[in-house]
Structure 1
Amino acid sequence: MKRRVFFKTTIVSSAAAAILPQIGFAQLKPSNKMQMYYELRTYTLKDADQLSLVEDYLERAAIPALNRLGIENIGVFTELKPSAQSIVIVLIPYQSLHEFETINDRLEQDKLYLTKGASYLNAPATKPAYERIQSSLLKAFKNMPGIELPSKDKRIFELRRYEHASEAAGTKKREMFNDAGEIEIFKRLGFKPVFFGETIIGEARPNLIYMVTFDDMAARDQHWKSFGADPEWKKISAIPEYADSKLVSKITSTFLQPAEYSQI
């Protein structure tokens, strides 16, 4: 993908359940069956040159190198309805904190990566490759410990962040997803969630972040309408301790489209 359109900066900067019998929708289970960790990385870019440089680095250097190191299914996204400044959002899954901690050292030993990424890695201070990178480290939910891949059909993604007034409220909201059945409702209604994660390190904590996918905006609106009317959701949300007004203080949605080379 070599877009030259500029995208608006969003607030998102942060970054195994049973497989559903859906065509083109598979779950990636960590080899140790433990919860995965996700880096959700946001590149802020000021112009077409930076956009081109970052995309070339991701497509030709970073993603192939990470794949060689066993890190697969890396997502790259831009905003669906961009305006003003450009952003590129990258989702990188890790099997463990150790893998996350050591990845940069391992990349520095990869000569092909250093060669392919030279323009980005060695960009001068007078002409940097990007304005800033902001990253969040997330821990996957226990009831969805790995990424689930949607089909490669044309689709859009919604990245949602729920901020909590306190750590206790965040714990309760994750309980609502994991133990009260909210994740299962998403799957049953066809939201095709990609991941759910608690933000361990990142801005606007405490919060959780998750990603769902739809055919288009009309399908997205219909799915959320169905969710609000779902009898099981009404039952769960009627429980006093799960009232969203107590557990979620702010919701941020960002609508994304995958890059042509995205693995999600």
Structure 2
Amino acid sequence: MKRRSFVRSSIIGSAAVAIIPAITNAMPTNISAPTHTDYYELKVYSLKNDIQQKLVEDYLNNAAIPALNRAGLKNIGVFTEMKPEGQTRMYTLITYTSLDQVDHIAGKLEADALYQKDAAAYLNAPVSAPAYERIESSLMKAFKHSPILATPEKKDRIFELRQYQSASEAAGKKKIEMFNDQGEIDIFKRLGFKPVFWGETIIGPLRPNLTYMITFDDLAAKDAHWKAFVGDAQWKKISTVPAYSDALLVNKITSTLLIPTAYSQI
């Protein structure tokens, strides 16, 4: 090696050795990768009148949420429809850190004397005056690219719950691949949608489907964000790949606008 080249390489190498520790020391030390994958239980209460709604709301606010919090579950979301057709349905979102936690929660509630006391009117509602018409439940597993719940800032906002149904399991998996591996989730985050969760329904109706929740300050912000998404160059690039055509992967999309209750923890 010529002396001039050797000296230049030595200087560069020495500088790199000095810079790398400085960069490492400057990086935040409190950032760590998630150690688990969340599971989400979405419960939808169908109600026929204000009496049932009040009974369910009193149950959730005064009995269910406190008991779930005591059992170690946090960030319980409760929402009403922004534009209901008749009596609003009520949506609850419960986050679990494992399937084992899902398995044990019912037993913990049964053993919680305070919960049984506070929930008595709801749990023991007579057949002549039921607390609700029906409950529809789904259990979802978080996407690998967004494995844990993201709780938004507590302020006035609206939520959009979107579900994509697919005609086959293969098509459903391909759509999830589009979100995880082709950068679709990153587009949502970059454009400021502030997603709360992304989940594949593993138990529940209308399978195969995926469901996700995003937030906006108001309806004007919702329209502006979706306009930006449709016009985004990266989205256009992904969506024009023949294998990822929505016509092949999605046969129904539902969108529900939700408002958090005063006691919702999301």
Q: Given the two structures, how large is their TM-score scaled by the length of structure 1?
A: 0.87
Q: Map residues 139-150 of structure 1 onto 2, 5 A cutoff.
A: 139-150=141-152
Q: Give the length in aligned residue pairs.
A: 236
The answer for the alignment partner of 2:227 in structure 1 is 225
User: Runs of 4+ in structure 1 displaced over 2 angstroms?
Assistant: 27-30
Mapping of residues 33-48 of structure 1, within 5 Å: 33-48=35-50
The residue number in structure 2 matching 1:162 is: 164
1:214 aligns with 2:216: yes
Residues in 1 aligned to 2:188 and 2:84: alpha-carbon distance in whole angstroms: 27
Q: 1:115 aligns with which of 99, 114, 117?
A: 117
Partner of 2:8: none
Q: Distance in 2 between matches of 1:247 and 1:35?
A: 25
1:241 equivalent to 2:240? Answer no
Over the residues paired in the alignment, what is the CA RMSD in angstroms? 1.4
The alpha-carbon deviation at position 219 of structure 1 amounts to 0.7
Partner amino acid for 1:89?
Y
**CA-CA distance at 1:85 after TM superposition:** 2.7
Deviation track 1:43-93 (CA, whole Å, cap 9, x = no partner) reads 111111111110000000000000011100010000012231331000001
In structure 1, list runs of 5 or more residues that go unmatched: 1-26
Could you tell me whether the CA contact under 8 Å between 1:28 and 1:148 is conserved in 2? no
In structure 1, how many angstroms separate the alpha carbons of the residues matched to 2:174 and 2:190?
A: 22
Query: Which residue in 1 is equivalent to 2:182?
Result: 180
> 2-side partners of 1:72 and 1:181: how far apart?
29
Q: Distance in 1 between matches of 2:210 and 2:49?
A: 31
CA contact (8 A) 1:164 1:248 kept: yes
SS in structure 1 opposite 2:111? coil
2: distance between equivalents of 1:84 and 1:229?
35
Provide the rounded CA distance (Å) in 1 between the counterparts of 2:85 and 2:210: 26
For residues 116-142 of structure 1, the C-alpha deviation after alignment (integer angstroms, 9 at most, x for no partner) is: 111111111111111111101101000
CA-to-partner distance for each residue in 1:1-48, whole Å, 9 max, x for gaps? Answer: xxxxxxxxxxxxxxxxxxxxxxxxxx9986xx2211111000111111
TM-score by length of 2: 0.86
Match of 2:204 in 1: 202
Query: Which is higher, the Rg of structure 1 or of structure 2?
Result: 2
- Percent identity at matched positions? 62
The structure carrying a bigger helix percent of its residues is 2
> Structure 2: which 5+ runs fail to align?
1-30
Match of 2:128 in 1: 126
d(CA) in 1 for partners of 2:233 and 2:141?
30
Measured in 1, the distance between the counterparts of 2:111 and 2:75 equals 22
Q: Note the alpha carbon deviations across 1:136-178, whole angstroms, 9 max, x for none.
A: 1101000111110111111000000000111111111111101
Contact 1:139–1:200 (Cα < 8 Å) also in 2: yes
The letter for the 2-side match of 1:118 is A
Q: Which amino acid aligns with 2:171?
A: A
Q: Does structure 1 conserve the Cα–Cα contact (< 8 Å) formed by 2:138 and 2:205?
A: yes
Q: Given the alignment, which residue of 101, 104, 107 partners 1:105?
A: 107
AA matched with 1:141: F
